[in-house]
Structure 1
């Protein structure tokens, strides 16, 4: 290999290593790779433009933007109200069936976010018995169609760029349906071993509330008992932070001093009762938002807040909101609220200002769960237009009446023109991360091809492997994608493994479709880790699961998923 080839190999390996090290920032990794590919001369201007204007990538972006209007309708909320029943079996099958079918057409994260609170607050069953099946149903349902999950469209865009021909809408359906049925049956059996965690109703017992004793407070010098701080409704004083020292447990006779930080745990909806005590200020008080509506959010893995404290982020300026309380699964949060280092998956209760809903950075940093939502609801003819227009567009494209990209351009234009989707919605929800990852992956593919590495790998495979090795190589491609999906992100895994899979198929002189589909299905197989897929992270905290819950339920599910996929791929998509 020449120097250029070695540089490309080093870039590819370094990309994977960087994704493993910086798992919460895949977009930043690919951004650096993009800059390096350009400045090192591995790609030229025409390849850059071809990558960012790739039809498959544009289709993916348009689909995600067009789905915004659908999320504003009552469709998912109507489904949510009809799922929960007194019978656990009836509830489970209604939940699994409705979520699987919804995820075949809609954004998985939006589907799970809509169902999260109805499931968590249901009056009949422990949320822990339902929330993990909710996430897995969304993942499995995404394998049913081309538009079921972003990774399917990522693979489609890479294939179109390589061969000029993409995947059909129902190419995934036969294998996907078998996966949904088989894994659904196993998941129902395994659900009996899910923990009975979580609590119904408005139970926020894990939330952490920080209250400061002002210098002029009349409580100074009083004991905790005499001040009445031990008899609050649904709030419990767990510790006092004084001069950098923690006092825990807090004795009833402990005297209150100026500057004390009183740390409560409990139901954040009861936090307003602290206003009855003179000289007590919540963290949100300093920002003038305590009287606002409360909104519950989850911090995304790629949020700018991860690894930082509230004080260092300038939270109020960023979001026009103040944090009232924080909850973290698996460990106790301690100390001053403003000095807590935030982590991906942390639940925050926000007191929001008037400008909160219009901020463009909400969906890049938070998964919205309840309370104030940034999107307005659609009603009347706009709601019918949103639902009917989306379903008609998908149907016309699915049956080949019109190209999906063209149909989505028309649909988005109609949505913007009728006010179902605003320009601000598009700015706020534009999938910058996915756009950057896929376009950079396309550029990396150009570099691999131009360097001769793909042709060299194909030639070596052609001389070293025979048809007897086909299944082994197919399995290796699938499991490599699964591994990277669990370790980095699903879209990044699909983008990185695709060139390898296509090279293997080319070297063997066979139809690349089974290997391409192995990448697509492998990138959807995130069952073992709560961090491999956003919906897993959402239910991980809401259901108060532990890591071993995912391993205990997800590992056998993942093995059955692999068995079904690897058995059916050569049958449904012959090597040719």
Structure 2
């Protein structure tokens, strides 16, 4: 008969359950709940310290998460992902996947899930997801499936893939190492892979067809119709248009781009074509088609000043006011490029003014009128000078163009970080930190923009989860739960023993940490095997599998937190999609273990 848990253990379990209930109800923000949890632990341990500890030791437990290597790692990984986005390094990969998604959304998602699964078998699943997150955020911005419907299934696929080999996650290595220390033979890399592959096939239909439907479209809806800009795109020698017909490139163009008054036949260098689209679509079309929406000499001048000064090239929307000298002029006669070194790449005209007399010049250039919105590209100081001198009103919608000259460098930094971490040359924390530092030093990510890469919500949630994990471990709550489990399992069949151990470890890993679950669960599995006369290996594998079934809460694993901000998820999203997946995997893996070891 086991004794009652200590008061500290009871308090730790109460705080954990209270935090879970608060997250699930969703009446307060995640940041507030996380900070309150940290505060309760800090105050409680200060006035009622753990046995053998001082009040200040309790403060270290409560606030230690803010300096924990896991939090630093997650922040560094966010910075690495930001570097890939702002340099456009992932655009080629995004375009390939975009074509698959354009062909069929479901096939695109299936290919992505299989990619995440297979990569995570051989590469640590954390850097795999770091690579995939910005790609799917970019795809969502281009009209593919919303990031909120793809990132959660991708995360689950990478976790299942990481479970399939002993090198897939650091938790697998930890469990195997503890088991060896306890006397079990070393497992090979693919020792239990068939069991996981079979379970993965069972879970795949859920990830592919069911989970996306359970998740909301968390994209921020436009409260107004997007402006459409008109421009005249010039075909260059290197342009994708050169020597092709419109039908040959239509599939590569972003959604919403339209061509006007196109003459039949092949496009030739120097030819100018009327194009219209939204701000983002115009930028994407120019990049894809490699055409010019402004004189080549001014574009080169802007690029040269960007290289010299290091300032980002920006695109801004500006409204022509009644006092502007540009009224009734065309772009070639306005002298904008000569005077200010900026390029007007598009003009939006309200529908009420379209079709007015003398709208176009004799050579087809649109005449600027009061109320027109110009899409202007240049460096910040030049844009300010242009707006001030020519009486233009700057609107919201300022965008920084990707620093494509740094794209190869950013991709190399990310690849290097992933490689050294995947092959175990250095811990993932060191690899990510080194990569983030290189992103700063090389200018791929700027120091004053780093706040855009980090999520305050994720930071405080990680810190709170680390505090909860430590108090559950150090208060003895995890040990008491393990003893209670071993006491009750003596009355169950071997198959149910496996399932119960897996469920127990899954519970621990979703509310404490993978390391805590592995450290507590592996010795318990050995003890239960000895008491019940069962082989230890299937029970140890039940622990290993349970440590990786971290789908039900955002605090269960670092990749869960990485996708939280990008997918705009709340706590309830993890619970409603993760709990069924845990049930599927526990059932499938338990059956696999029973059949494999003939229990």
Q: TM-score, normalising length from structure 2?
A: 0.48
Bigger helix fraction: 2
Q: TM-score, normalising length from structure 1?
A: 0.49
Larger radius of gyration: 2
